[in-house]
C-alpha cells in the first residue's frame, strides 16, 4: 500500500499588543476609542457592548450615563448594543452563572466577531469577560479598560483570561490577546488605597525578575507611592505595563508552552494563599507574602545575597504589605503544610516539569525544578510578622 504524504503548513498569526494611556476616555471630545475602532476614519459603525464592574460604577456615579451619552454623541461610529453591570472582584470568577449571562447578552445584542466587547473593571472582571469574549463565537474582539493599578500594570495588559473552576484559580481560560488595552488614569482616583497598593507589588515583582533600575526607582519613590501621588503611581503603572508587555512579546513564549514563568515569581504560594484564605487575601496581598517567601528561600539556598534580600523585604513592608498571614502555616488533611502541598497544583497549572523562578540578585533570576520542603518551612518561620 502506498502511503500518501502528510500535509503540513505553518500558520503565522501576527498579534499587536497595544496599551494606550488616557484620562477620561468617555469625556465627550476624547477621540481615543473612536480612533481605535476606525483608525482610517472611513466612517465604519461598530457594534459595542460594555461590561462594567459594579464597584467601579458605584465609585463613579454617572459612568453608565456618561458612556451612553458618549455613544449617542458619536452614534455614527458607535452602535451601543448594551451596558451590563457585573459583580466586583473574585465573585465573578467563582460563579459560572455570570458567564452564562454574558453569553446570553452577546446573543441577544447580536454581538458578532466584527463587534467589540468592552470590559471596564478590576482584573477579576477583565479575566471573566475576556474569557467569555474569547469563547463566544470562537472569539470576539475585546477591549480592556483596567481600573486598578494591578490591572493597568499587569493583569489587564497580558494575553490571558480565565475563571476559577473545581476550586482552582484560572482552571478554565484561554490565551487571547485583547484588541487593545486602554489605561484610563481617571479611574485610579476612586480606587481604595488597599487596591491601589496591589499594583505596587506586581511592579516590584517584574522589577525583581527583569529590571534592577526599576526596583531602585520604586525605592526612591516609595514615599510618593505611599501618599498615592498621581504622577508616581502613573509612572509605576506605565513602567510595569511596559515590562510585562515586553516580557510577553519578547520572551519567545507568549502563550506559555514552556514551563518557565518568570512573571509568576512569588505566585506559587500566592495562588494557594488566596484560595486558603477564601479570597480574604487579595491577589496583591498574597503575592507580597509569596515574594517575601521566595526571597528568603533564594537567600537560604545561597542564590541571593543578604543585603538584597533585606532591601526587598524592607520595600515590601514599607509599601504597606504584610509579609505573613496565618494561612501560610495551615495544615492539609494529611498534616502537611497546605501551601507546600500547593506546589503540586502549581506544577499542574504550569504543565510539565515543576519550574519555580528564584532570585540571584535584584533584577536577575534563576529557574529551579525542585523545592526543598525543610528550607521552605524555615523560610516561612522567618517571614517578618506584625
Ligand atoms: N489575566 C492575568 O494575566 C492576570 C494577572 C494577574 C492577576 N489576575 C487576576 O486579577 C484579579 C485581581 O484583580 P484586581 O487586583 O484588579 O482586583 P479585583 O478585580 O478583584 O477588584 C478589586 C476591587 O476593586 C474594585 N475596583 C476596581 N476598580 C476600581 C476603581 N477604579 N474605583 C473603585 N473601586 C474599584 C472592584 O470593584 C473590586 O471590588 C485576580 O482574579 C487575579 O487572578 C489576572
Ligand atoms: Zn499576579
Minimal-distance CA residue to ligand 1 atom 9: 123
Q: Which atom of ligand 1 is nearest to the CA of 158?
A: 3
Q: Is the CB of 156 under 6 A from ligand 1?
A: no
160 ligand 1 Cβ < 6 A: yes
Please work out whether the CB of residue 122 comes within 6 Å of at least one atom of ligand 1.
yes
State if residue 59 touches ligand 1 by the CB under 6 angstroms criterion. yes
Residues contacting 36, CB < 8 A, separation 6+:
20, 143, 179, 180, 182
Nearest ligand to the CA atom of 191: 1
pLDDT over 80 at 351, yes or no: no
pLDDT at 359: 98
Cell of 200: 505596587
Could you identify the atom of ligand 1 that is nearest to the CA of residue 149? 16
| Residue 367 parent element (H or E) | strand 364-368
Q: What is the pLDDT of residue 58?
A: 97
Its CATH class, for the domain covering 193-381, is: mainly alpha
Report the share of the chain in percent with pLDDT over 90.
Answer: 85
The reported pLDDT for the residue numbered 249 is 94
> 146 CA distance to ligand 1 centroid (A)?
8
Element (H, E) at 169: strand 168-172
For residue 1, pLDDT beyond 80: no
Cα 61 → chain centroid = 25
What is the spatial distance between Cα 271 and Cα 327, in angstroms, rounded to a whole number?
Answer: 12
Tens-digit pLDDT profile for residues 44-95: 999 999 999 999 999 999 999 999 999 999 999 999 999 999 998 889 999 8
Residue nearest to atom 3 of ligand 1 (CA): 155
Tens-digit pLDDT profile for residues 318-339: 999 999 999 999 998 888 999 9
User: Would the pLDDT of 350 be above 80?
Assistant: no
Question: What distance in angstroms lies between residue 112's CA and the mean position of ligand 2's atoms?
Answer: 31
| 90 in contact with ligand 1, CB cutoff 6 A | yes
Rounded distance from Cα 121 to ligand 1 centre (Å)? 7
> What pLDDT sits at residue 330?
95
Position 181 pLDDT exceeds 90? yes
Ligand 1 within 6 A of 274 CB?
A: no
pLDDT digits (tens, 9 = 90+) for 207-257: 999 999 999 999 999 999 999 999 999 999 999 999 999 999 998 888 888
What confidence score (pLDDT) does residue 260 get? 81
Ligand closest to 177 (CA) is 1
Average pLDDT on 182-206 reads 96
Give dist(CA 385, CA 341) in Å, integer.
22
Q: If residue 373 lies in a helix (H) or strand (E), which one and from where to where? A: helix 373-381
- Note the residue count of the chain: 386
Does the structure show a pLDDT above 90 at 261?
no
94: Cβ below 6 Å to ligand 1?
A: no
- Where is 84: in which H helix or E strand? strand 78-86
Residue spans of the domains in the chain: they are 19-190, 193-381
Ligand 2 center–CA 158 separation, angstroms: 11
Distance, CA of 334 to CA of 336 (rounded, Å): 6
| CA of 226 relative to ligand 1 center, distance in Å | 19
Mean pLDDT of 32-52: 95
Residues 6+ apart with CB under 8 A from 361: 212, 304, 305, 308
State the pLDDT at residue 160: 95
pLDDT at 352 over 80: no
337 phi/psi in degrees, rounded to 5: -70, 125
360 alpha carbon – ligand 1 mean position (Å): 30
Say if ligand 1 is within 6 A of residue 81 CB: no
For residue 34, how far is its CA from the centre of ligand 1 (angstroms)? 26
Mean local confidence (pLDDT), 2-19: 93
Q: Is the CB of 151 under 6 A from ligand 1?
A: yes
CA–CA–CA angle 127, 114, 187 (5° rounding): 40
Say if residue 169's pLDDT is above 90: no
What letters, b where the CB count within 10 A reaches 16 and e where it falls short, cover 262-283? bbbbbbbbbbbbbbbbebebbb
Comparing 230 with 41, which gets the higher pLDDT? 230
Residue-averaged pLDDT of the chain: 95
Specify the ligand 1 atom closest to the Cα of 190: 32
Task: Output the pLDDT for position 344.
Answer: 84
Q: Given 3.40.50.150, 3.40.50.300, 3.30.420.40, 3.40.50.1970, which CATH number is that of 19-190?
A: 3.40.50.1970
Closest ligand 1 atom number to CA of residue 60: 32
153 C-alpha to center of ligand 1: Å? 11
Evaluate: CB of 199 within 6 angstroms of ligand 1. no
| Whether the CB of 120 sits within 6 Å of ligand 1 | no
**Residue nearest ligand 1's atom 40 by CA:** 124
Q: What is the pLDDT of residue 234?
A: 98
Band (364; pLDDT cuts 50, 70, 90): very high
Amino acid at each position: 500500500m502506498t502511503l500518501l504524504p502528510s500535509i503540513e503548513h505553518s500558520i503565522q498569526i501576527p498579534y499587536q499588543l497595544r496599551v494606550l494611556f488616557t484620562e477620561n476616555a468617555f469625556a465627550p471630545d476624547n477621540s481615543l476609542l473612536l480612533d481605535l475602532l476606525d483608525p482610517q476614519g472611513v466612517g465604519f459603525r461598530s457594534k459595542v457592548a460594555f461590561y462594567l464592574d459594579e464597584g467601579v460604577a458605584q465609585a463613579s456615579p454617572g459612568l453608565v450615563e456618561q458612556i451612553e451619552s458618549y455613544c449617542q454623541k458619536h452614534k455614527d461610529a458607535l452602535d451601543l448594543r448594551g451596558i451590563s453591570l457585573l459583580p466586583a472582584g473574585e465573585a465573578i470568577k467563582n460563579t459560572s452563572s455570570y458567564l452564562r449571562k454574558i453569553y446570553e447578552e452577546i446573543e441577544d445584542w447580536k454581538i458578532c466577531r466584527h463587534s467589540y466587547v468592552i470590559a471596564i473593571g478590576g482584573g477579576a472582571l477583565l479575566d471573566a469577560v475576556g474569557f467569555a469574549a474569547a469563547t463566544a463565537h470562537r472569539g470576539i474582539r475585546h477591549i480592556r479598560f483596567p481600573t486598578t493599578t494591578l490591572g493597568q500594570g499587569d493583569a489587564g495588559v497580558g494575553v490571558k483570561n480565565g475563571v476559577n473552576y473545581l476550586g482552582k484559580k484560572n482552571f478554565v481560560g484561554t490565551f487571547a490577546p485583547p484588541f487593545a488595552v486602554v489605561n484610563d488614569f481617571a479611574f485610579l482616583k476612586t480606587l481604595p488605597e488597599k487596591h491601589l497598593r496591589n499594583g505596587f507589588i506586581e511592579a516590584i515583582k517584574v522589577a525583581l525578575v527583569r529590571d534592577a533600575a526599576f526596583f531602585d526607582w520604586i525605592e526612591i519613590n516609595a514615599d510618593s507611592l505611599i501618599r498615592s501621588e498621581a504622577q508616581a503611581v502613573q509612572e509605576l503603572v506605565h513602567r510595569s505595563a511596559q515590562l510585562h508587555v515586553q516580557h510577553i512579546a519578547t520572551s519567545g513564549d507568549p502563550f506559555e508552552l514552556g514551563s518557565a514563568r518568570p512573571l509568576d515569581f512569588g505566585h506559587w504560594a500566592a495562588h494557594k494563599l488566596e484560595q486558603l484564605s477564601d479570597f480574604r487575601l487579595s491577589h496583591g496581598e498574597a503575592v507580597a507574602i509569596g515574594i517575601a517567601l521566595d526571597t528568603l528561600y533564594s537567600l537560604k539556598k545561597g542564590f541571593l545575597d543578604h543585603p538584597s534580600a533585606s532591601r526587598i523585604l524592607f520595600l515590601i513592608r514599607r509599601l504597606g504589605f504584610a509579609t505573613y498571614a496565618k494561612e501560610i502555616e495551615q495544615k492539609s488533611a494529611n498534616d502537611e503544610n497546605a501551601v507546600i502541598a500547593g506546589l503540586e497544583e502549581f506544577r499542574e497549572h504550569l504543565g510539565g516539569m515543576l519550574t519555580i523562578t528564584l532570585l540571584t540578585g535584584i533584577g536577575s533570576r534563576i529557574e529551579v525544578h525542585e523545592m526543598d520542603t525543610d528550607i521552605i518551612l524555615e523560610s516561612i518561620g522567618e517571614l517578618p510578622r506584625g
